[in-house]
């Protein structure tokens, strides 16, 4: 019998809807109440509540505390896998942080719900059941942190929330899920080709995120630089281009030793140094801006926060983002 640790951190999966007002808020009802009966005789479950927070309240220091807690619990007892319940708004960021931080081959699965436990069509219990089944699956070994929602298995690196309220919100644009779940089976149809992890001890660097837009100048970049940040992520236009009016502010930022990492505001494709005009990707790379491969702006921010705890060397940072 597999032994699975379930760690609860809060979110809609542990909330209830007020039937009079329609407001969804925290609840004393435990989201695991019904799952033990469903899995009786097949999986031994131990559950803990670490936080009771809506996911917009989750900070990087909470993510680090969660990661350390997983390590501590797995050192105390020989669990076969871990499931973490989490609110959906920042679920992808926590999952990606854990993917970068955790030092384990065993399955770690993050799940949540789009509808509270007493809403019509609630998806929390089913997602939790699916997550436990994936965490109990031998094929889930060595795949990094996984996100299981709506019968699909996604990697923490590629998954993102695509809809504000649809239960099928979690998707991996361009890549797709690496597996699916049914009522009786777990199927993986893709393999991980690469996985990285960084054993950091703290996460205290300040990294800001800016989205580019038509007509953008350098004022916002200047304001961020003057706020004493340790790093900057920019969601650039297209393949990795910016309006020319931002160039002077970017030069000052780089000259002050603040690493700037570029991703695209497009949800598919990667940034490339294709265009040579002022503000084009070629000029940005020549300036010393780091091009990130295959991550969104929020995830690039998480990665830079982790990376800066390891090094501030531009060459090493560029290698970590390649």
Active site residues: 12
Three-state DSSP at 303 gives helix
Residues 310 and 240: their CA atoms lie apart, in Å, by: 26
Q: What is the DSSP letter of 241?
A: B
Distance of CA 15 to the CA centre of its chain: 21
Residues in a beta bridge with 5:
46, 82
Residues 5 and 47: their CA atoms lie apart, in Å, by: 6
Phi then psi for residue 187, to 5 deg, are: -120, 130
Residues 160 and 294: their CA atoms lie apart, in Å, by: 12
Three-state DSSP at 200 gives coil
Query: What tokens were used for 33?
Result: 């109440």
Residues in a beta bridge with 146:
109, 155
Contact yes or no for 272/265 (Cβ under 8 A) = no
Contact yes or no for 88/161 (Cβ under 8 A) = yes
Beta strands in the chain (DSSP E): 2-8, 15-17, 24-26, 43-49, 81-85, 108-111, 145-149, 152-155, 160-161, 170-171, 179-181, 186-188, 207-211, 231-236, 260-264, 290-291
């Amino acid at each position: 019998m597999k032994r699975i640790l379930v760690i609860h951190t809060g979110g809609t999966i542990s909330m209830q809807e007020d039937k009079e007002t329609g407001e969804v808020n925290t609840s004393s009802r435990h989201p695991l109440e019904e799952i033990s009966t469903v899995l009786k005789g097949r999986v031994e479950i131990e559950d803990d509540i670490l936080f009771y927070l809506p996911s917009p309240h989750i900070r990087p220091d909470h993510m680090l505390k969660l990661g350390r807690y997983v390590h501590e619990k797995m050192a105390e007892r020989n669990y076969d896998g871990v499931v973490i319940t989490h609110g959906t708004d920042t679920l992808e960021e926590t999952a990606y942080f854990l993917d970068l931080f955790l030092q384990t081959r065993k399955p770690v699965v993050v799940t949540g719900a789009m509808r509270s436990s007493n809403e019509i069509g609630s998806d929390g219990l089913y997602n939790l059941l699916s997550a436990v089944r994936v965490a109990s699956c031998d094929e889930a070994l060595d795949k990094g942190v996984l996100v299981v929602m709506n019968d699909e298995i996604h990697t923490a690196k590629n998954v993102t929330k695509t809809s504000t309220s649809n239960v099928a919100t979690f998707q991996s644009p361009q890549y797709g899920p690496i597996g699916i779940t049914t009522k009786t089976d777990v199927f993986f149809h893709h393999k991980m080709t690469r996985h990285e992890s960084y054993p950091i001890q703290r996460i205290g660097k300040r990294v800001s995120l800016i989205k580019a837009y038509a007509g953008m100048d350098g004022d916002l970049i200047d304001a961020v630089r003057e706020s004493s940040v340790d790093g900057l992520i920019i969601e650039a236009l297209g393949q990795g281009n910016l309006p020319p009016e931002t160039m002077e502010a970017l030069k000052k930022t780089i000259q002050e030793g603040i690493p700037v990492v570029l991703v695209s505001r497009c949800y598919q494709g990667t940034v490339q140094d294709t265009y040579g005009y002022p503000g084009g990707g070629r000029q940005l790379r020549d300036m010393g801006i780091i091009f990130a491969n295959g991550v969104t702006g929020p995830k690039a921010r998480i990665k830079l926060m982790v990376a800066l705890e390891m090094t501030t060397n531009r060459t090493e940072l560029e290698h970590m983002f390649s």
